[in-house]
Amino acid sequence: MDQHPLLELHLRSLKLPAMLANFRRVAGEVADPVDYLTQLAALEVSKRHENGVRARIGAAHFPVIKTIESFDFSLQPQLPKAKFLELFDCTFVEQHRNVICIGPPGTGKTHCLLALGLAACTRGYRVLFLTAAELLMGLIAAKHEGQLDRKLRALERQDLLLIDELGYIPFEREATDLLFQVISRRYERQSVAISTNLAFTDWTNIFPDPMAATAVIDRLVHHGSVFEFAGESQRLKTRRRGKTANGGQD
């Protein structure tokens, strides 16, 4: 017969599932009541953290999960590894700083952006991952529907906004004006991490107004760290190796 019906009832009422699932087992292992309560509380905290991380990862909309441990730094020897790894304690998010990864396609920028977002999720920050095209198309649609302010406020609730593939396609003036709004509203308030294939001098290729390009770069770099990636696309290298292994057949 269960001798703890009230305790079970209270744990259910307080929505403490980890304590509910473990209170009988821990009671048989720990005699001291304070140690007993400490262990139960620790289990609940750990479970809530795990659930929170899982929820934040889901809300971030990562296309795939990447970790920095799986990134091959030997392919980017010019990248300051120690400085880059410092980002993964995520103090830059707390300080509302930015990260800009610049380099050719296929050199690992997106991998690093995703890994950085995952690290931020595990440390309790709200994260959202979008390609530049997804971000701007969503903003334009919200503007046309009269929901732009609501959309911008939703973006501002994100502690870290990850914008991938900036510069792969040019944008019309309306889109770049909206991007300027996003960056300006986050300036010194929330963090942005961007990957781009364009050097800053080439941002006029995607910004019809050179002044807007300069203003965006200024806000990103003022409290930001720039990391340059180099070399040939690893995807192309892998594809060529596959062709060679298959005797040159596609």
Which of 17, 69, 68, 71 is closest to 47 using CA atoms? 17
Q: What is the pLDDT of residue 226?
A: 97
DSSP character for 78?
Answer: T
Whether the predicted model's global pTM rises above the 0.85 cut: no
Instruction: Assign 35 to helix, strand or coil.
Output: helix
Contact 120, 127 (CB under 8 A): yes
Neighbours of 191 (CB within 10 A): 25
Structure-model confidence comparison of residues 44 and 82, the more confident one: 82
The pLDDT tens digits for 157-212 are: 999 999 999 988 777 889 889 999 999 999 999 999 999 999 999 988 788 888 88
Name residue 162's beta-bridge partners: 129, 193
Q: Where are the alpha helices (DSSP H) in the chain?
A: 5-13, 17-29, 33-60, 81-85, 91-94, 109-122, 132-144, 148-156, 173-186, 210-222, 234-245
The domains located in the chain, with CATH, are 5-59 (no CATH), 68-236 (3.40.50.300)
Kindly state the greatest CA–CA separation across the chain: 77
Distance of alpha carbon 85 from alpha carbon 115, whole angstroms:
11
